[in-house]
Amino acid sequence: MANSTTMIGIYEDVSDANRAVTRFHEEGFTSEQISIIVSDTTKAKHLAFETGTKAPEGTAGGAIVGGALGAIVAGLTAVAGIVVPGVGLAIAGPLVAALAGLGVGGAVGGLVGGLVGLGFNETEAKFVEDAVKDGHIIIAVTDEDSEQMTVAHGVFESTKARNISKTRTT
């Protein structure tokens, strides 16, 4: 999205993350505006991926079946989803294309560079990377409408997201 804002919230609890995605949909956000970033460990613990195609760098076009995070990613992998085996990162939603375009995928450490490339400051990006490594769930929403982003901030706050951060991209 040109001239959009991306807001990220970090969740320690799966049920809070599920509630957040449900609330985002209730507030009019679409799957094309919601992304999730998790570690392989978190994915394995809370998600069941059934892959459709495989590529050397990752798995694309996967479908989610069951798992505690099912509500979060049920529609997101239809938009885009990758799993980067061996490097500890799974991303679903529109951030896949943005981060892939910035070269993320070689390692979890590439997440910092990708987020900085999107406009987040290095401290925020490092905090997000550490949260992923610690098994937390990262949810991001993107929109061009500042009023919708105010709504998004409220959803993040009411669903116990911590370290909410945002950036504008062009």
Residues 15 and 104: their CA atoms lie apart, in Å, by 28
Predicted TM-score (pTM) of the model is 0.75
pLDDT value at position 117?
80
Residue with more model confidence, 15 or 65: 15
- Residue type present at position 156: F
Residue with tokens 């979060």: 72
Question: Residue ranges of the alpha helices (H) in the chain?
Answer: 14-26, 40-46, 70-73, 76-79, 95-101, 110-118, 122-133, 146-158
- Give the pLDDT confidence of 122-138 residue by residue, as tens digits: 899 889 888 988 999 99
Q: Which domain holds residue 92?
A: 4-169
pLDDT digits (tens, 9 = 90+) for 46-104: 655 444 444 333 333 333 334 445 545 554 444 445 554 444 677 777 777 666 655 55
How many structural domains is the chain composed of?
Answer: 1
